Structure 1
Amino acid sequence: MNKSRKPSEAPEQTTDRLFATERRPEDFRFDASVARVFPDMIRRSVPGYTTVIPMIEVISEQYAQPATNCYDLGCSLGASTLAMRHGIANADCNLIGVDNSSAMIERCEHYIALDDSALPVTLRCEDILDTELSNASVTTLNFTLQFVDPEKRAGLLARIADATRPGGVLILSEKVRFESDDEQAIQTRLHHEFKRANGYSDLEISQKRTAIEQVLIPETLAAHKARLLSAGFDDVVVWYQCFNFVSMLAIKANQTTE
């Protein structure tokens, strides 16, 4: 979505204190209160996020093809959308960001309008399970699939693979769980120490975990790889991991002629 007039300033951002006081347990939602603190929340909660985002720009530069569609599914406030926008060198590409949270899309529109890139961006407030996909060269699911019903993930990935052109890619970033209980315990402890180092209290860590555990359903890396290959991608490369957070590149092979 293009704006002819750019806003003079970015949306208000505040420090994430959503779980700093005792609160009634309820499932985590991407509502207006989360949207307001989301940049601070994700920076302090997801190790490597500040590495993943700039690399999405680099990967988009490498894989975006002329006259194709590029999708950011679950775009939230548009960090990965903007990274893709700056990485795509082809002016005839269509960049589409999708999120089912109206609060996220509203703020994302503002950030897109503030950005100085000329590549048009279309934002859609809809469920990514309903998004029509076609002629794709780069698609991003940046810590998004983990919030999709596990029984619907295979179908979504198959649709993405079917829509991806030869030589195209899916960037899939996820929180994962480990097959070994001992490794799971170690990685979880390290992740919690990461949060403490970023100023979260034990109460905040505990309450956030309670709120999100029925909403964010992680899977093993092996399960992700197997499903991506079954969906129709030809190769899966893990290019980043820190604790229980990983980012993968699922690649559609170039067609060869006999």
Structure 2
Amino acid sequence: MDILNVSGVSKCYGKGKASVQALKNISFTVEKGKFIGIMGASGSGKSTLLNLISTIDYATEGNIIINDTNITKLNIKKADKFRREKLGFIFQDFRLLDSLMISENIGMPLVIQKRKRDEIEKKVNEIMRILDIGRLAEKYPYQISGGEKQRTACARAIISEPELILADEPTGALDSNNARNIMILLKKINIELGATILMVTHDPMSASYCDKVIFLKDGRITNMLNREISDNNIFYEKIVKCNSKLQHVICQEKEDVQN
């Protein structure tokens, strides 16, 4: 079952001669319970695509369907409601509220949904136990490490059991050790909780935890790699090779323009 269907999506900013086409006829699907990565150089359209899927922005053309809801047809009010209730988010800069304890940050999506206090406390405790961050419950964001902040952000993203989790460079602000730990955690969330994750990343190591990696260049999909075996190292090598070819093409095009 496809939980996400992106069909013929294009995004254009501006009008006339000043217009810029950020995405060009993008199409792909994501099955329920899969972990999908999106890679590409700066300016390739990764962030634009994520903004469209997250209902923050609207496509110029095409359709984006999340679990039978065509989000391109939603008005602003309905899009906001859909985002709150159906999507989970993990950001590079964590976006935790310093004035709230870790347990309160994790429970915030349920507070916004106006869930009962007892239900929120029970769910927060359950998620903290699963992600092994119970010790952080009464601490504040400024009292914990970057890796712990991202674990907290992961807990916040999954507490409302969203249909789709969108992760924007989740390891971008972390050192290599914490980055690997977060990817192990995301894979655990994907497998054990059945969460569907769409992750934007520039890091081949992070992408190697995905089931499939989609490569973007100049607003178009240039390649897709599917995981064929469970060995992360082999998949990592394939991702590096594909990414290197893409970077070589970009460098060659820049040289051609300069000449």
Q: Normalised by the size of structure 2, how large is the TM-score?
A: 0.32
Identify the structure with bigger relative contact order (alpha carbons < 8 Å, sequence gap 6+): 2
